[in-house]
Amino acid sequence: MGVDNSLRMDNFCKNFKIEIKWLTEDEMEFDMIGIDASIANAFRRILIAEVPTMAIEKVFMVDNTSVIADEVLAHRLGLIPLDADPRQFEYLSENDVPNERNTIVYELKISCKKGSPRLTVKSDQLKWLPDGSQLHKETPSQSAEPKTYTSFSGNQLEVSKKPLGVTYKDIILAKLGAGQAIELEAHAVKGIGKDHAKWSPVATAWYRMLPEVVFLKEVTGADAEELVKKCPVNVFDIEDLGNGKKRAVAARPRACTLCRECIRGVTEEAVELRRVKDHFIFTVESTGALPPEVLFTEAVKILEEKCNRLITELS
pLDDT at 312 over 90: yes
What's the average model confidence in pLDDT over 278-302? 94
Q: Which top CATH class is 53-197?
A: mainly beta
Instruction: Write the pLDDT tens digit of every residue in 43-96.
Output: 999 999 999 999 999 999 999 999 999 999 999 999 999 999 999 999 999 889
pLDDT at 178 over 90: yes
Range list for CATH 2.170.120.12 in the chain: 53-197
Range list for CATH 3.30.1360.10 in the chain: 9-49+203-286
Q: Where are the beta strands (DSSP E) in the chain?
A: 17-23, 27-33, 53-64, 104-111, 119-122, 127-128, 172-176, 181-191, 202-215, 236-242, 245-250, 271-286
Distance separating alpha carbons of residues 302 and 46, to the nearest angstrom: 8
- Say what the pLDDT of residue 117 is: 93
- Say what the pLDDT of residue 139 is: 61
What's the average model confidence in pLDDT over 192-200? 96
Confidence class for position 172, pLDDT limits 50, 70, 90: very high
Architecture per CATH, 9-49+203-286: 2-Layer Sandwich (3.30)
What predicted TM-score, i.e. pTM, was given to this entire model? Answer: 0.86
- Say what the pLDDT of residue 189 is: 97
